[in-house]
Structure 1
Amino acid sequence: MNDVQFSPSLMTMNLDKFKEEIRFLNDHVDSYHIDIMDGHYVPNISLSPWFIEEVRKISDVSMSAHLMVTQPSFWVQQLIDIKCEWICIHAEVLDGLAFRLIDQIHEAGLKAGIVLNPETPVETIYPYIPLLDKVTIMTVDPGFAGQKFIDGTLEKIVQLRELRETNDYKYLIEMDGSSNRKSFAKIDEAGPDIYIVGRSGLFGLTENIETSWQTMMTDYKEMTGKKYYKE
């Protein structure tokens, strides 16, 4: 796989500095992470396909929608309609829908991802794992920013890497939750391809996005001994 990627979670950005932060990040990140919550799967209500369209007015960076919803079919079609590059659905709501929705996403020329909650085993997605473009491991419980990192979830990242190598699968491995200076070293050891960064890792570090980004890059380098390729 290529160098590690960083994907800012836009739910945690400073919305009164929306244009300033997006225009800076456009030159530094690989994708944007868009949390869509329906108030049912998780108690919060968050971003929407409309928000993706607003970001697109000032960015051509790839968008990855994380659906924390109870009726994924409704939202998948909306995201297909606006050509969201990545559509990622929780495995926990996919009973009887997985193959249909993955095919629907692929037939639209888009990429399909699956998200696993901390207590959901990788084995849950074995029937359709060869079809996936991305697997996201939640390292916190879904729905709220700023939660404590769950160390045991990292074992699933290692398991996914071994499965990919053994079976020549093509999916990317992404981690979501409390990615910051305190956790960079142990995340790096597990070896995901994509780090989702939010308030604790990026947006909450300083009042200025450029300074916050530089701080995050320093934290990543000091804790892992590695340099991000788009620093």
Structure 2
Amino acid sequence: MGVTPNIAPSMLSADFANLSSEAHRILNSGADWLHMDVMSHLTLFFSNSSSIPCRHFVPNLTIGAPVIESLRKHTTAYLDCHMMVTNPLDYVEPLGKAGASGFTFHVETSKDNWQELIQMIKSHGMRPGVALNPGTPIGEVYPLVEAEKPVEMVLVMTVEPGFGGQKFMPEMMDKVRILRKRYPLLDIEVDGGLGPSNIDMAASAGANCIVAGSSVFGASEPAEVISLLRSSVQKA
């Protein structure tokens, strides 16, 4: 049994003034999940070489629990929440109450409390995942995947987090290949600059959960793009 393809258009690229209709439009076009980027302007990014905060993790304040709660009233879809925040523990209860389905936190901000965090995410009925930035070594996530109570998905960032429309970083596929070889049945998600021009590269490396924003929402026929993304993952 292989892994299941999941196409997760990023709602960060949707029309925020019509979020409910945008969600229905993209789900009717064949999307499996809705990817929700939860960002805080107070979040700090920790560089690879130091535990000293070197800059704001993400300069934008975007989707939060109130938006997710509002959207949940209009859809039963899987809400794949990517938490780009300083202290994910503070967000578990609000996101769980809001109706989030998945809660993916960053390993860079959770090195000291990830075990507690995973347990808390599960206790609030959400599926735990861990993300890592382009500069973070892949080995940082091994303990979280191999723990007694593990994360259930690894998100490999293929752009620097914080903005939509960035260029895909093909060198990140080495991380995906390593993960797929080490964990054949793990859900591996890629996020950043994905679209028809590079989906085969991501799929062949082993990614099965595909986040795509601009390439889906900016397409004249989103259903065709989603179908192409799914087909590539299935073939791989």
TM-score (norm 2): 0.84
**What does residue 202 of structure 1 align with?**
216
Q: Distance in 1 between matches of 2:25 and 2:153?
A: 26
Give the deviation of 1:80 after TM superposition.
2.2
**79, 83, 89: which one aligns with 2:95:** 79
> CA 1:57/1:148 → structure 2, altered by over 3 Å: closer, same or farther?
same
- Of all paired residues, the percent bearing the same amino acid is 27
Partner of 1:147: 166
Q: What is the CA distance between 1:226 and its match in structure 2? A: 5.8
Structure-2 separation of matches of 1:225 and 1:65: 21
Q: Which residue of 2 aligns with 1:174?
A: 189
Contact 2:7/2:226, CA 8 A, preserved across alignment: no
Q: 1:161 aligns with which of 159, 166, 180?
A: 180
Cα distance in structure 2, aligned partners of 1:21 and 1:42: 24
Partner deviation per Cα, 1:116-136 (whole Å, 9 max, x = no partner): 101111211222212011100
74 and 226 in structure 1: CA distance in 2 versus 1, 3 angstrom threshold: closer
2:12 equivalent in structure 1: 11
In the TM superposition, residue 184 of structure 1 has moved relative to its aligned partner by 1.4
Hey, what's the Cα distance between the residues in 1 that align with 2:233 and 2:123? 41
Match of 2:222 in 1: 212
Post-superposition shift, 1:24? 2.5
1:90-130 per-residue CA deviation (whole Å, 9 max, x = no partner) reads 00001211001001112233210000101111211222212
Give me the whole-angstrom Cα distance separating, in 2, the residues matched to 1:56 and 1:163: 35
Q: Matches of 2:84 and 2:212 in 1, distance apart?
A: 17
Contact 1:26-1:59 at 8 Å conserved across structures? no
Distance in 1, matches of 2:97 and 2:81, equals: 13
Q: Alignment partner of 1:141: what SS?
A: coil
Q: Distance in 1 between matches of 2:74 and 2:92?
A: 23
Instruction: Give 1:54 deviation, angstroms.
Output: 1.5
Count of aligned pairs between the two proteins = 216
Q: What TM-score does the superposition give when structure 1 sets the normalisation length?
A: 0.86
Task: Name the SS of the counterpart of 2:80 in structure 1.
Answer: strand
